[in-house]
Structure 1
Amino acid sequence: MKNIIILDLDGVLITTPTWKADEIDFDDYSKFNKKCVENFNILTENLDCELWISSTRRMNKTLKQFREIFSNRNIEQEIKGFLPVTDYQTPRIKEIESFLENKMIENYIILDDDSSLHNLKEESKKYWVQTNLLVGFSLEKVEEAKQIIKKFWED
Structure 2
Amino acid sequence: MILDLDGVLITNPSWKADRIDSDGYSEFNESCVENLNRLLTLAEFDIWLSSTRRTVKTLTEFNLIFKNRGIKKEIVGFLPEYADCINRKEEILKFIAEFKVSDFLIIDDDKSLNGLESEIKEKLILTELMKGFNSEKLKEATKKIKKL
Q: Which residue of 2 aligns with 1:27?
A: 23
Q: Secondary structure of 2:86's match? A: coil
Displaced runs of 4 or more, over 3 A: none
SS at the partner of 1:22?
coil
SS at match of 1:74: coil
State the distance in 1 between where 2:126 and 2:45 align.
19
2:71 maps to which of 75, 79, 82: 75
1:131 maps to which residue? Answer: 127
User: What's the CA shift for 1:90?
Assistant: 3.2
Question: What secondary structure is seen at the aligned counterpart in 2 of 1:141?
Answer: helix
CA distance in 2, matches of 1:99, 1:56: 15
**What letter matches 1:132 in structure 2?**
E
Q: Secondary structure at the match of 2:8?
A: coil
Q: Deviations over 1:115-152 (max 9, x none)?
A: 11011122110000011100110111111111111012
Which of 33, 39, 63 aligns to 1:37? It is 33
Kindly state the Cα deviation for residue 78 of structure 1 after the two structures are TM-superposed.
1.0
1:77-96 deviations in Å (ceiling 9; x for gaps): 11000000013863111110
* Deviation digits for residues 41-61 of structure 1 (CA, Å, limit 9, x no counterpart): 010015211000000000000
Tell me the alpha carbon deviations over residues 50-79 of structure 1, each in whole angstroms, 9 at most, x when there is no partner. Answer: 000000000000000000000000000110
Please tell me whether residue 18 in structure 1 is matched to residue 14 in structure 2: yes
Matched residue, 1:98: 94
CA distance in 1, matches of 2:133, 2:84: 26
- Matching residue's letter, 1:8: D
CA RMSD of aligned residues (A): 1.2
Equivalenced residue count is 148
TM-score, scaled to structure 1: 0.92
Q: Secondary structure at the match of 1:108?
A: coil
- Using a 3 Å threshold, how does the CA distance of structure 1 residues 106 and 89 change in structure 2: closer, same or farther? closer
**Structure 1 vs Structure 2: percent identity of aligned residues?**
49
- 2:8 aligned with 1:9: no
Corresponding residue number in structure 2 for 1:49? 45
Which protein is richer in strand relative to its size?
A: 1
